[in-house]
Amino acid sequence: MDRVALRGLKARGHHGVFPREREEGQTFIVDLVLHIDARPAAAEDDLAKTVHYGVVAEEVVDVVQGEPVDLIETLAERIAQQCLKHEAVAQVEVVVHKPDAPITVPFDDVTITITRSRA
């Protein structure tokens, strides 16, 4: 499979188990790898035969900004399912970063990485 990668999509969401996270929100960063077969699009130079990564980026931001969930695992799953709605996407790897997680010791980032395929 070929891969289209989007790195560093940023959006503010209100996800988390603590009231402060829900009330104040925080920035989430999402990285995606969309597994596609790029040959049909390349052969005909046709956007309709691939995945429009600009549309995917907007949809991912909408998911992050949307209905709050407790866990970044749930957020990652919702993002993956949205990506798989695109016919050209056979598999997706989603990394959700939560750099402002409420942790009491110094840290750089918290992430969840999931991979989902068409059923």
For 27-72, the pLDDT digits (tens) are 999 999 999 999 999 999 999 999 999 999 999 999 999 999 999 9
The one-character DSSP state at 85 is: T
pLDDT of 5 > 90? The answer is yes
Q: pLDDT band at residue 83, thresholds of 50, 70 and 90?
A: very high
pLDDT at residue 119 in the model: 72
- At 52, is the secondary structure helix, strand, or coil? coil
- Residue 106, both tokens: 């110094």
Phi, psi angle pair for 75, to nearest 5° = -60, -45
Exposure b/e, 36-71, CB count within 10 A at least 16 = b: beeeebeeeeeeebbbeeeebeebbbebbeeeebee
Catalytic residue among 10, 49, 85, 98: 98
Q: Is 98 labeled as catalytic in the residue annotation?
A: yes
Percent of the chain residues past pLDDT 90, beyond the cut: 98
Quote the mean pLDDT of the chain.
97
Percent of the chain residues past pLDDT 70, beyond the cut: 100
The one-character DSSP state at 41 is: H
pLDDT at residue 44 in the model: 97
Q: What is the mean pLDDT of residues 72-101?
A: 98
pLDDT at residue 118 in the model: 87
Give the orientation angle of helix 72-83 with respect to helix 53-65, to 10 degrees. 150
Q: What is the pTM of this model?
A: 0.96
